[in-house]
């Protein structure tokens, strides 16, 4: 039975089963919370109170014993810098790559940013593809470039190209006449090592924060399926849907949760793909170099650059990072902003409260969390469209970004660049870029009184 058909049948069963019988579906849709449903506890028992530059890098406080040891081992691997062979330790970098370590893109486990004028890209990459789909429904790779442009290379090899972003300012105004300006990016690829083919599609992506990912992986699929409303049956203008992607490790289709277009199903595969595409590091899941098939690829490795145990430790590390607590919960201005957030309809996609089910990592199980996401794809309008499909995600669709920790971005990473390509220079600009299914919510925000806009932003900054 196809994956989506299996999901629909599970959801139909959930509608008629009593709560006690939900275990018969193989997943618990709404498990009892292990903690009090406190809005300040964004990550349930995995919540941390650190509000310093280490806010995104703190182990979950409920870790202990071997789980904490594995977290620390994964932390060390996440920060390890790869070099070229014949180095025995951390060898295998390239031949082409975007960075030399995980932490290089995800500084302090946080958010990347687009390059400044004249600066070489460090935590932004460009996905590329040709029209059509591959054998497993994936984007069609570009001959000679694959699915991601690598802008660095080891000695004796050419980088695939250099990335530059050109910006165009677009003026607008709030209903009260207050002006604003948004910037629109244009991706430019300079000095390609071979000519770029006509019709190639590009999409710039900044590195997202990596905390809280294990909790999102532990939300039962049946919950996400019940949140989906592809045909907009309730008529609210919101029609979130699941992406269905190829899981290389399992060798079958699965529902995507991770990545800007929910194009990866599991944390383990997300980590393995990042090693492979961002650093040119092979693993048991992706044993071929990212430039496999290119003339400059060289002979295949006899053994993977990264062993399965290290890859598993890194996935465990990002799965068990603590989630920053929400702040200013008792602030009357933030409370009013929370009400305005709901009245504007923002909570239709940014779901405030979810519950995890039974997880492979016990500390993640049965948690009441406040991520402000439904992990679904939504049409965000032409303004945010990259016009590059990714599995079932169209060129206008993006996964709902979790909002937890958003107010600490400047503290941790020293900037406030948001959205998939970092075009928004503030939370305010990120809201104003919303279109498509979010257009009504955006317009409610744009037409609010100045004090109400400030209150809503105050709420978002408290998350």
- Whether residue 138 lies inside any domain: the answer is no
How many separate domains does the chain show?
1
- pTM for the full predicted model: 0.92
Query: In terms of Cα–Cα distance, which of 360, 398, 394, 395 is closest to 378?
Result: 398
Cis peptide bond N-terminal to 95, omega within 30: yes
Cα(205)–Cα(125) distance, integer angstroms? 5
- Whether residue 415 lies inside any domain: the answer is yes
- Whether residue 237 lies inside any domain: the answer is yes
pLDDT at 5 over 80: no
Q: Does residue 366 contact residue 31 with C-beta atoms inside 8 Å?
A: yes
DSSP per residue, 77-142: HHHPPPB-TT-SSSB---SEES-SSHHHHSGGG----PPPTTPPPSSEEEEEEEEEE-TTSPEEPB
Distance from CA of residue 67 to its chain's centroid? 24
Which range marks the domain in which residue 250 is found? 31-59+211-265+307-461
- Whether residue 406 lies inside any domain: the answer is yes
Least confident span in 8-12, 167-171, 320-324, 392-396: 8-12
- Whether residue 456 lies inside any domain: the answer is yes
Query: In terms of Cα–Cα distance, which of 127, 102, 26, 124 is closest to 390?
Result: 127
In sequence order, the 6+-apart residues with CB closer than 8 A to the CB of 189 are 126, 149, 161, 162, 163, 164, 196, 202
pLDDT at 419 over 90: yes
Predicted confidence at residue 413, as pLDDT, reads 98
- Whether residue 118 lies inside any domain: the answer is no
Residue burial 153-174, b: 16+ Cβ < 10 Å; e: rest: bbeebebbbebbbeeeeeeeeb
- Whether residue 222 lies inside any domain: the answer is yes
**The dihedral formed by the CA atoms of 358, 362, 364 and 367, expressed in degrees to the nearest 10:** 60
Q: In which band, very low, low, confident or very high, does the pLDDT at 3 lie, cut at 50, 70 and 90?
A: low
What is the per-residue pLDDT across 238-248, written as a single tens digit (0 to 9) for each? Answer: 999 999 999 99
- Whether residue 368 lies inside any domain: the answer is yes
Predicted confidence at residue 17, as pLDDT, reads 29
Q: In which band, very low, low, confident or very high, does the pLDDT at 18 lie, cut at 50, 70 and 90?
A: very low
Cα(133)–Cα(390) distance, integer angstroms? 9
Between 332-343 and 450-461, two packed helices, what is the crossing angle to 10 degrees?
100
- Looking at the chain, how many residues does it have? 463
pLDDT at 397 over 90: yes
């Amino acid at each position: 039975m196809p994956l989506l058909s299996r999901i629909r049948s599970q959801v139909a069963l959930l509608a008629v089963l009593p709560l006690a019988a939900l275990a018969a579906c193989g997943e618990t849709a709404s498990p009892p919370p292990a903690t009090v449903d406190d809005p300040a506890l964004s990550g349930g028992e995995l919540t941390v109170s650190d509000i310093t530059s280490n806010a995104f890098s703190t182990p979950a406080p409920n870790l202990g014993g071997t789980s904490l040891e594995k977290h620390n081992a994964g932390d060390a691997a996440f920060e390890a810098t790869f070099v070229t062979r014949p180095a025995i330790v951390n060898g295998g970098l390239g031949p082409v790559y975007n960075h030399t370590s995980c932490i290089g893109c995800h500084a302090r486990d946080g958010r990347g940013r687009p390059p400044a004028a004249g600066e070489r890209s460090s935590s932004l990459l460009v996905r590329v593809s040709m029209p059509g789909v591959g054998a497993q429904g994936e984007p069609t790779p570009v001959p000679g470039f694959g699915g991601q442009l690598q802008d660095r290379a080891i000695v004796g090899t050419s980088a695939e190209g250099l990335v530059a972003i050109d910006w165009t300012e677009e003026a607008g105004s709030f209903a009260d006449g207050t002006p604003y300006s948004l910037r629109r990016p244009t991706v430019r690829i300079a000095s390609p090592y071979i000519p770029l083919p006509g019709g190639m599609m590009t999409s710039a992506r900044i590195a997202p924060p990596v905390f809280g990912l294990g909790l999102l992986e532990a939300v039962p699929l049946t919950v996400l399926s019940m949140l989906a409303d592809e045909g907009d049956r309730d008529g609210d203008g919101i029609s979130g849907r699941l992406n269905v992607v190829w899981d290389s490790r399992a060798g079958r289709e699965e529902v995507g949760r991770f990545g800007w277009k929910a194009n990866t199903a599991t944390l383990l595969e997300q980590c393995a793909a990042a090693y492979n595409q961002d650093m040119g590091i092979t693993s048991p899941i992706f044993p071929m170099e990212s430039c496999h098939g290119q003339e400059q690829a060289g002979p295949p490795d006899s053994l993977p650059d990264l062993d399965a145990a290290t890859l598993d430790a890194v996935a465990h590390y990002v799965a068990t990072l603590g989630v920053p607590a929400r702040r200013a919960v008792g602030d009357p201005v933030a409370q009013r902003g929370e009400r305005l957030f709901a009245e504007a309809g923002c909570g239709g996609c940014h779901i405030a409260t979810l519950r995890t089910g039974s997880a492979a990592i016990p500390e993640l199980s049965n948690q009441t969390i406040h991520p402000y996401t439904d992990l679904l794809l939504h049409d965000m309008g032409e303004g945010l469209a990259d016009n590059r499909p990714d599995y079932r995600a169209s060129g206008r669709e993006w996964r709902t970004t979790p909002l937890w920790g958003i107010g600490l971005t400047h503290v941790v990473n020293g900037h406030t660049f948001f959205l998939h390509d970092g075009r928004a220079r503030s939370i305010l600009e990120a809201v104003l870029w919303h279109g498509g299914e979010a257009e009504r919510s955006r317009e409610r925000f744009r037409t609010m009184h100045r004090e109400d806009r400030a209150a809503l932003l105050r709420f978002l900054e408290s998350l």
